[in-house]
Amino acid sequence: MIHELPFLGKTKDAYIAEGIEEYSQRLKHYTTLSVIWLKDRGKKKGRPTDPAELEGEMLLQSIPGGALVVALDALGEQVSSEGLATLVSTWEQRGIKQVSYLIGGPTGLCRAVLNRADVLLSLSKMTFTHDMVRLLLLEQLYRAYTIKAGEKYHK
């Protein structure tokens, strides 16, 4: 399974960027990971001017055909680490080849992205920066794979 993470812009804090790189490398031991850095193409005639809509347009365009779309949103379902491992296993058993995880910018995800999502997940009821969500998602995906493999990292 390919886990695709399109990120809106570069990660600002070096310590978060280092964590993202660390968990990206760890995950590659278990699965295929594709981190895509999206850059705003600027304002063009006919494009939305709302930042969330501009970001949403970029995220939606990044989704490969046939991918399962998981949007991270405060109103999404909260699952435990074991629950995420079960979700990933279920997707693999269903023959899903690619999962795209969509994380909004500072203003969150627009309605079009939420409507397109196959799954809405929330990492917490607390609010995190979108950069932190990147790191938390990668760590939880790594944790899910170690749970699936019966390894000690989880405990």
Q: Read off the CATH number of the domain in which 134 is found.
A: 3.40.1280.10
- What tokens does 75 get? 């109103």
Domain containing 144 equals 2-41+51-149
137 domain residue, yes or no: yes
Q: Write down the mean pLDDT value for the chain.
A: 93
Write out pLDDT tens, residues 30-87.
Answer: 999 999 999 866 556 666 678 889 999 999 999 999 999 999 999 999 999 999 999 9
134 domain residue, yes or no: yes
CB of 71 closer than 8 Å to CB of 114: yes
In DSSP terms, which residues pair with 108 in a beta bridge? 105
Mean pLDDT computed over 143-155: 90
Lay out the sheet containing 119-122: strands in order across: 32-38, 2-8, 98-103, 68-78, 119-122
H-assigned helices in the chain: 14-27, 51-62, 81-93, 111-116, 130-148
94 domain residue, yes or no: yes
154 domain residue, yes or no: no
Mean pLDDT computed over 89-97: 97
155 domain residue, yes or no: no
Find, among 90, 112, 108, the residue nearest to 99 by Cα.
Answer: 90
What is the model's pTM?
A: 0.92
27 domain residue, yes or no: yes
